[in-house]
Amino acid sequence: MARDTIDSTFDEIRSMRVRGAGRIARAAVSAMKSYCESGRFSSNREFYEGLFAAGEKLKEARPTAVSLPNAVNYVLASARRRQSKGGTLKGSVAAMREVCDAFVASSLRATETIGEYGSKRIQDGDVVMTHCNSEAVTAVLSAAHAAGKKFEVIATETRPRFQGRITASVLANRGLDVTLIPDSAARVYMRKVDTVVVGADAIAANGAVINKIGTSQVALAAHETRARFYVAAEAYKLSPMTMTGELVEIEQRSPLEVAPRAWLEANSAVKVKNPAFDVTPPEYVDLIITERGIFPPQGIILLMKDLYDEPWSV
């Protein structure tokens, strides 16, 4: 059963049945908790070996959202510490279950706190644009709405997988005033936008933001009209490896997300590219809203140093 949960969670993340940086982090850690509960080990050594293998596999499910390795590494680092202390198998299992639960609870709390902090940045009468579907962003907008602020939301549809439709329907169901537009209309509508809020899959040490493909175009349009550009992201979206100069890998997805098989076959001379994420340079970002405070992009390195004093050991 345990292996199955790891495998099925891996498949769910890879195929995007579970998607969004925060959700995939929690799904991976929940699968590790299921492994702990599976009883498929008869010694401490076997238990930890299985847990390390499960974590390593889950980290490979999708390459860009750093929330995934950060979450798994959080559990594995704690497993390594615990393993070095020895103790009974029962004690190890209970301790690791607790670590998994603590991660999931803190992730949910973080999103709520971001909602609270971010909502203060939305003013009555604002027009707010968002791109893709981010729990951190919907938390900000929902909290502002719950606080009685009157504002309008414009959601880009977010091709090729249309996550913007999820955002639009979630917000409309919560009573917000929301309009869905094609991605290509972002610049036209930017003229009336006061604030853009997007999520992040990873944030680099220099404050660059890696998020759904198209985010950087929205940022460029926001820069042109001087709309504020905010990023709502939990601290576990900060990429420690970028502190040592590593680049964030951008996931390339199937051409079948861009055009149907029949068209691709009829036009086999056409090359198709489908990058899932892009990089918005820090110059286009005004603020990064985290549960640990609000930072200008140039200041995010301070939070990173606080969280990962030895990034090469992660």
Q: Cα separation of 129 and 255, whole Å?
A: 28
x/- binding map, residues 121-160, to ligand RUB, per CB under 6 A? -----------x-xxx------------------------
> What's the min distance (Å) between Cβ of 190 and ligand RUB?
18
Contact 65/24 with Cβ under 8 angstroms?
A: yes
CB atoms within 10 A of CB 137: 31
Q: Which structure tokens are listed for 16?
A: 């995007």
Contact 13/29 with Cβ under 8 angstroms?
A: no
- Among all chains, which residue has been given the structure tokens 């203060």? 120
> What's the min distance (Å) between Cβ of 283 and ligand RUB?
20
Nearest position to ligand RUB, beta carbon = 199
Compare residues 25 and 205 and give the one whose CB is closer to ligand RUB: 25
Cis peptide before 63 (omega within 30 of 0): no
Q: Cα separation of 111 and 290, whole Å?
A: 8
239 binds ligand RUB (CB under 6 A): no
What is the sign of the dihedral through the CA atoms of 274, 277, 282 and 287? positive
Q: What is the DSSP letter of 248?
A: P
Among 163, 239, 242, 290, binds ligand RUB (CB under 6 A): 163
Contact 271/259 with Cβ under 8 angstroms?
A: no
Q: Cα separation of 129 and 233, whole Å?
A: 16
Annotated catalytic residue: which of 126, 183, 194, 201?
201
x/- binding map, residues 175-214, to ligand RUB, per CB under 6 A? ------------------------xxx---------xx--
Contact 215/252 with Cβ under 8 angstroms?
A: no
19 binds ligand RUB (CB under 6 A): yes
> What's the min distance (Å) between Cβ of 158 and ligand RUB?
8
> What's the min distance (Å) between Cβ of 308 and ligand RUB?
19
Q: Is 132 a catalytic residue?
A: yes
Compare residues 199 and 240 and give the one whose CB is closer to ligand RUB: 199
Annotated catalytic residue: which of 36, 132, 183, 194?
132
Query: Catalytic residue positions?
Result: 132, 201
Which residues bind to ligand RUB, rule: CB under 6 A?
A: 19-23, 65, 132, 134-136, 163, 199-201, 211-212, 276
